[in-house]
């Protein structure tokens, strides 16, 4: 014989204070759990959005990222002759020789310094990354000491406004424009002429990397084979740009998840204890009621299911509340050091369907664990003893 669902809900409404406190505790845990997953997903989403499927980045073998990489100028010229490289309307290969360095800037409102990525690019860089669009000012003039600044750098660092100057390699560089890039990692960079950046760094023979556009996304294997067959490319490795930036996000995203999950586990222990106390109190207050149900023919498993259902319902409501609060974090943008590049990266909390499902599943698990022992105690109550409690 089953006990109606409405019975469980009505019993919760008679203990509003304890139910509210339990829901609040579960909501706090789910909020922390969701925020951690959203933070890690936000990092990954920002960096993955930085790359393009049809773009290929080339680095020197043994280099994990662009900073320590050395890409010879003569090799860059050879790459431009490969048939797999797409050409623009001007007939030139869509390829950008790039040099990457880091400068220190003061953050607005504090005396803290932040590492900012400076990327020297070739004229084809804008065609390679169409999401990069100027929002203020103009494009820097190639051959000059001018730069354009990502919107995140513009809003977070001193001296990064339109018309101001930045110090790069001991030289003053004027900010000619501000750009956005659909929320990708490029918004946390400063762009200038690669040749000029190389001169100011006294680095004339090697770039950091080279990024090219393929004729077709499927040409990656053909390009890899062509470079493997040519001994002049033996020290160069290639990677799809999207996969490169996704790999750069792994270390930091994993660290955030592990750290956050440790905190979440600690908090969840408290929430489950709270749910357990609530359900034990419910059993104690409803001893006669439980005895009556058993006398009417309700089986032990029905009583067990009833109390377990109440605990799960409390946890699920708390999970929904916590998830709803966590969803508001999407309106906030934060910045931190990207472990892969040791440079500042701005990103937003991002919520996905998977994160929402994991959060709700986690709340249900807490409800099951927190409610099982009290539910088992209720199911084991002797009918006669329970009725005498009145």
Residues 21 and 150 reside in one and the same domain: no
- Report how many helices (DSSP H) and strands (DSSP E) the chain contains, helices first: 12, 14
pLDDT confidence band for 56 (50 / 70 / 90): very high
Domains held by the chain: number: 2
pLDDT for res 379: 65
Task: State the distance between the two ends of the chain, measured CA to CA, in whole angstroms.
Answer: 24
High-pLDDT (> 70) share of the chain, %: 80
**Residue 11's pLDDT band (cuts 50, 70, 90):** low
CA dist 336 and 350 (Å) reads 16
Same domain for 349 and 263:
yes
Q: How confident is the model at residue 1 (pLDDT cuts 50, 70, 90)?
A: very low
Spatial distance between the Cα atoms of 151 and 149, rounded to a whole number of angstroms: 6
Categorise residue 298: left if φ over 0, alpha if ψ from -120 to 50, beta otherwise: beta
Residues 216 and 256 in one domain: no
Q: Which of 137-141, 149-153, 352-356, 377-381 has the lowest mean pLDDT?
A: 377-381
> Does the structure show a pLDDT above 60 at 261?
yes
User: Is residue 75 domain-shared with residue 222, that is, in the same domain?
Assistant: yes
Label residue 242 by pLDDT band (50, 70, 90). confident
Q: What is the mean pLDDT of residues 238-261?
A: 79
Report if residue 239 sits inside a domain: no
- Specify the pLDDT at position 141: 94
Q: Are 340 and 63 in contact (CB under 8 A)?
A: no
Tell me the pLDDT of the chain averaged across its residues: 82
**Hey, which of 163-167, 274-278, 340-344 has the most confident mean pLDDT?**
163-167
Q: Which helix (H) or strand (E) holds 345?
A: strand 343-348
pLDDT at 219 over 80: yes
Domain boundary among 206, 234, 262: 234
pTM exceeds 0.85 for this model: no
* Residue predicted with more confidence, 247 or 304: 247
What is the span of the domain harbouring residue 9?
Answer: 5-48+248-388
Cα–Cα distance list, 41 to 159, 162, 267, 332 (Å): 31, 32, 21, 14
For the chain, percent helix, then strand, then coil, each to nearest 5?
Answer: 55, 25, 25
228 versus 13: the higher-pLDDT residue is 228
Does residue 212 share a domain with residue 262?
Answer: no
Model confidence at 243, pLDDT cuts 50, 70, 90, reads confident
Residue 27 lies in a domain: yes
């Amino acid at each position: 014989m089953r006990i109606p669902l409405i019975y469980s809900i009505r019993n919760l409404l008679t203990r509003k204070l304890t139910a509210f406190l339990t829901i609040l505790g579960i909501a706090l845990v789910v909020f922390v759990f969701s925020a951690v997953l959203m933070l890690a997903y936000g990092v990954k989403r920002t960096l993955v959005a930085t790359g393009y499927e049809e773009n290929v980045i080339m680095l020197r073998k043994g280099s994990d990222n662009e900073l320590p990489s050395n890409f010879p100028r003569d090799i860059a010229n050879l790459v431009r002759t490969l048939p797999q490289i797409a050409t623009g309307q001007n007939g030139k290969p869509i390829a950008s020789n790039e040099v990457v360095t880091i400068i220190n800037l003061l953050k607005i409102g504090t005396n803290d310094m932040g590492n900012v990525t400076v990327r020297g690019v070739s004229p084809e860089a804008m065609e390679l990354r169409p999401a990069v669009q100027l929002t203020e000012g103009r494009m820097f003039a190639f051959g000059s000491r001018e730069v354009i600044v990502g919107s995140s750098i513009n809003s977070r660092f001193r001296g990064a406004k339109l018309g101001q100057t930045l110090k790069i390699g001991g030289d003053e560089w004027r900010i000619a424009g501000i750009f956005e890039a659909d929320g990708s990692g490029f918004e946390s960079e400063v762009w200038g002429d690669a040749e000029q950046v190389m001169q100011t760094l006294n680095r004339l023979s090697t770039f950091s990397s080279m990024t090219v556009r393929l004729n077709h996304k499927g040409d990656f294997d053909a390009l890899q084979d062509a470079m493997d067959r040519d001994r002049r490319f033996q020290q160069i490795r290639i990677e799809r740009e999207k996969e490169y930036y996704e790999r750069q996000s792994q270390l930091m995203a994993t660290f955030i998840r592990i750290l956050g999950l440790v905190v979440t586990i600690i908090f969840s222990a408290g929430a489950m204890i709270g749910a357990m106390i609530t359900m034990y109190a419910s059993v104690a207050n409803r001893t006669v009621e439980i005895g009556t149900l058993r006398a009417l023919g309700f089986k032990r498993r029905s009583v067990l299911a009833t109390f377990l259902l109440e605990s799960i319902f409390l946890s699920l409501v708390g999970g929904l509340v916590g998830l709803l609060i966590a969803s508001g974090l999407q309106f906030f943008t934060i910045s931190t050091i990207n472990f892969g590049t040791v440079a500042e990266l701005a990103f937003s909390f991002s919520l996905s369907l998977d994160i929402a499902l994991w959060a709700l599943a986690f709340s249900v698990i807490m409800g099951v664990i927190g409610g099982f022992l009290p539910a088992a105690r209720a199911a084991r109550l002797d009918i006669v003893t329970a009725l005498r409690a009145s």
